[in-house]
Structure 1
């Protein structure tokens, strides 16, 4: 009897261990490779330089055209100007999912590094007389730490009047309209389609592919898209709802990939 109980206990330990291991794997499998690519790939570095080089060339042309209003550029902050991949990495290390509290712990440190070409672009805007506005879904409670972070890195326009952070709604439409009331927005830069226009907020069953095709002539001109494989609003088409277990999310990711058979 004692031998049988011992065997059952060992089976339970092994089963629990395997289940825990699987749970951790499911939690992190999609994030590890994406974060490694973002932090380590020189191709990522090159894409940021490429994006900001194109932005500078286009902006120089826009700035040369006379307009009734002063010209402005709107940029996102996270994964556009600042690199938050250490936060994603810490999620992996600590086996944590995103939470506002965990994010706030990171953002209040003000330790994010500048992404390649981002600081230089902000300074270029200043040098040619184009105002740069930061429209971000960071909360207003993060304003001081965000300004301190950008200012310490040498970014131009690191003052409160150039920041429009999230108050009540995630949509950036109203904040863009506020800038447009006094400025001619000639360019928008971000890692998420919602950074450019409200038309991308409802992407449809094709995940927004038809919308991108519809506005394809804007990309590389007025819209500059930067890479972010770690997270984004595109995931909403994948998960549909927030009330999913890690296992359910894993299965949905697996089902969404398209093979050749």
Structure 2
């Protein structure tokens, strides 16, 4: 009996050790949902945006002025979806994500709606450039309309087409409008320069330091982001366990 019990425990532990573990995002999700610091940083970002907007309004432009904003973790808070994945022990899954956006239940990022309404009051148009799928357009518009966001229509919503690179969509807007500000939670929401091959992203940020808080308004997002992909050095089809090991290897310690 003791031998059987030992073997049973051995096989359970061996099986469990080989299983794929979902990413533990607990602190990141809780920080976004519960901390005052998160809200303070969001208000700080949008307060800077308002000051910058007022300065930009003093400059004459040939084209009408506009602002480009990302959606996820920039104007809508998706932390409940990340929280559900945590409780389910799952990693990101597109089908689960679309179930969430179909609910039209995301809350606003603090300060986002009031700032964009202020911009609209100054006759500054707002374009929502998002990597949400085209099938998510109507639920997203309903979600934004529930809070009274301005310029929520098919003209001002540019969702992902055949690429996640937003530059083509930004260029289309620039053909008819003067872009005075970009707001996002990823550097790729501002320019492709930050994630071009063989470039040190921190050096690129330093080169454009004066644009942050003026033309580029950055929102905090501890849960996910483009920055993480550079850690994996273009390795494809990594498991969550393999990603976790690589992240540990990249930590700077003494």
Q: Same fold (TM over 0.5)?
A: yes
Q: CA RMSD in A?
A: 1.6
Taking the TM superposition and a 5 Å limit, the aligned residue runs for 1:102-121 are 102-121=96-115
Residue 174 (str. 1) matches residue 173 (str. 2): no
Which moves more between the two structures, 158-167 or 43-52?
A: 158-167
- State the alpha-carbon separation in 2 of the partners of residues 219 and 247 from structure 1: 35
* Alignment-derived partner of residue 10 in structure 2: 11
Q: Gaps (5+ residues) in structure 1?
A: none
Q: Gaps (5+ residues) in structure 2?
A: none
- State the alpha-carbon separation in 2 of the partners of residues 55 and 135 from structure 1: 18
- State the alpha-carbon separation in 2 of the partners of residues 8 and 140 from structure 1: 52
Which of 221, 224, 228 does residue 228 from structure 1 map onto? 221
8 A Cα contact 1:203 1:211, kept in partner: no
* Alignment-derived partner of residue 77 in structure 2: 83
Query: How many Å apart are 1:205 and its aligned residue?
Result: 5.9
* Alignment-derived partner of residue 248 in structure 1: 242
- State the alpha-carbon separation in 2 of the partners of residues 3 and 196 from structure 1: 63
- State the alpha-carbon separation in 2 of the partners of residues 201 and 11 from structure 1: 46
The change in CA–CA distance for 1:63 and 1:13 in structure 2 (over 3 A counts) is: same
Query: How many Å apart are 1:217 and its aligned residue?
Result: 1.2
* Alignment-derived partner of residue 56 in structure 1: 50
* Alignment-derived partner of residue 211 in structure 2: 218
Corresponding pairs, count: 253
Which of 157, 162, 180 does residue 151 from structure 2 map onto? 157
8 A Cα contact 1:205 1:237, kept in partner: no
8 A Cα contact 1:73 1:130, kept in partner: yes
8 A Cα contact 2:70 2:184, kept in partner: yes
The change in CA–CA distance for 1:3 and 1:34 in structure 2 (over 3 A counts) is: closer
* Alignment-derived partner of residue 28 in structure 1: 23
8 A Cα contact 1:192 1:225, kept in partner: yes
Query: How many Å apart are 1:14 and its aligned residue?
Result: 4.6
* Alignment-derived partner of residue 38 in structure 1: 32
TM-score, normalization by structure 1: 0.92
- State the alpha-carbon separation in 1 of the partners of residues 44 and 142 from structure 2: 27
Which moves more between the two structures, 70-79 or 251-260?
A: 251-260
* Alignment-derived partner of residue 187 in structure 1: 181
- State the alpha-carbon separation in 1 of the partners of residues 81 and 219 from structure 2: 19
The change in CA–CA distance for 1:256 and 1:205 in structure 2 (over 3 A counts) is: farther
Taking the TM superposition and a 5 Å limit, the aligned residue runs for 1:69-80 are 69-80=63-74
